[in-house]
Each structure stands twice: as structure tokens, then as C-alpha cells.
Structure 1
Amino acid sequence: MLGMQVSFNIWDVLINLVFSYIATVGFALTVNIPHRVIHWSGICGCAGWMVYWLVTEASGGRMISNTLGAFAVGLVAVVLAKWKKCPVTLFSVPGRVPLVPGAPAYMVVRRLIDGKYIAAQQMMMRVAIVTVSIALGFLLSTLFQEAWNKYIKRLKLREKLKK
């Protein structure tokens, strides 16, 4: 399904970029991220959201879209943390915000209050799937980063032994 041709308006891309950046920076300000990295945490959130949005536009499912978006946030957070010499959490925690299913979680609570338990249960499953897929994306990005570091370490060791 991902091989399908995707067409989208440039305004859709710009709107998604701007609002994902604003959401990420707003959350970063709320949790007192240092000012020197707030912009970069916004970029991290934009990267994750754009991967999510592009996969969704390419007819990707809810789970694969969120998994790949969280994977992108994890990778970008690691790169930015090494570049800016900061903890990864300064980028990864705010970077997750655009992916978090806030509106569906609100709808679960609202339907529970209204007494619509079956509809709330169905919506709760959607929230659970998205939450698990975000966690899976971060797990995969961490595993990928550790495997990459081991690979680079082995390459350097081989180079050193050849000399």
C-alpha cells in the first residue's frame, strides 16, 4: 500500500509543519526545556509529525504511521542530543507531543461520562493502539541507535588493528 502515488497540497505541508512546531515548542516551554534547545525540540517534533503525516497520506495504517513517527523522533533526538551536547530527553519528550492521541483520549472520557460504554471501549482500543505504537517506535529507535554504535565501534577497532 505504501507504493501508491501520493499527492498533497503545499499548504497542507506548511500547515502541518507550523502547527506541529508550535505544539512541540509550547509543550517544551511548559516543561521548562532550556531556551537554547527549544527551537531544536520543535524541529524534532516537526520531523516526527511529518513522517507520521506522510505515511498516513500514503495510506499507511494508524499503527505503522505512529511507529514510524516515533522512530523518527527517537533518531532525530539522538542526533540533536549529540550535536548540542544535551540529554536526549530534552528533544524526545517534547517531540512526542504531536503524536500523542489527546483528542481520542478526551473522547473516551466524554463517552464514559455520557454512559456510552461500548463506544468508549472502541475508542479506548484506538488510544491503546496508538500509545503502544509510539512506545514501539521509541524502542526500535533506541535499539537501532545501540546497534549502530556497536557497528561503528567495531569498524574503528578493525581499523586500529590493521594499523
Structure 2
Amino acid sequence: MPQFQDPLLLSQAVWLLIIFGVFYFVLSFFVLPRVGSVLEDRAARITADLEAARASKQQADAAMAELSAATAKARAEAQAAVAAALAEATAKAQAESDVLNAKLAEQINAAEARIATARDAAMAAIGSVATETASALVSKLMGKADANAVQAAVSRTLASRGAA
């Protein structure tokens, strides 16, 4: 092969090995350790950040649980307050209703007493009105009416009907 018969090939190969050795030495002792330390620092920072994120998540979960408990407690307290207010309003309304019912019952009793008095007065007057009417009818029909007979007949009729 003619390319291997060049006199400069041996010197090029030697320089290639020298340059390769220098690059290997520089890379292995200076560049790669720095790159390795950067990678290790980065891995440590990522791990620390992940741990911080886990801790933050646990704190957030704890805060969320605390918030849920506080919300549930506040909701229960609000429902208790509403129930108490409703019970108080119901009791107050019931008391006012009882007072009004008592007042209405008193008014009804008074009205019934007035009605009974008026009915009794009307029933008492009905006897005299019935006697006068019957006397007038008998006088018109017969010409003359016996007041005692008419009075007795009206009293019997009213007594049979339960009016007098």
C-alpha cells in the first residue's frame, strides 16, 4: 500500500500519539473532574430540590387537612347557630301565637256572651211579638181575640219548640 510508505507517516503517527496523550491527560485530570463535580453538584441539587418539594407537599397536605377541619368546624358551628336561631325564632313565634290565641279566645268568648245575651233578649221578645201577632191575626179573622188564650197558645207553642 502506497500510503503507508510515506516517510512522514511515522512522524505523523508519533505526533498523533503525543497529542492524543496530552489531550487524554488534560481531559482526565482537569476537564473531566470538573464536569464530574458539576454533574454531582447538579444531581445533589436536584435531590435536595426533590426532598424540599416532598417536604413542601407534606406541609401543603397538612395545611389542607387543617383547612378542611377548620372549614368543617366552622360549618358545624354555623349550622348550630342557624339551628339555635331557628329554635329561638320558633319559640318566640309560638309564644306570640299563644298570646294572640288567648286574646282571640277571650274576644270569641266575649262575642259569644254578647250573642247569647242578644239571643236571650230576642227569644224573650219573640214571646211578646208572637202574642201580639197572634192576637192581631185572631182579631182580624174572628173579630175578637181572648188575650189570655192567645198568650197560653203562644207559650205552649214556644215551649214545644224550645224557644221560650
Q: TM-score band (shorter)?
A: under 0.3
Identify the structure with the greater helix proportion: 2
Higher relative contact order (CA 8 A, sep 6+): 1
Determine which structure has more spread, i.e. the larger CA radius of gyration.
2
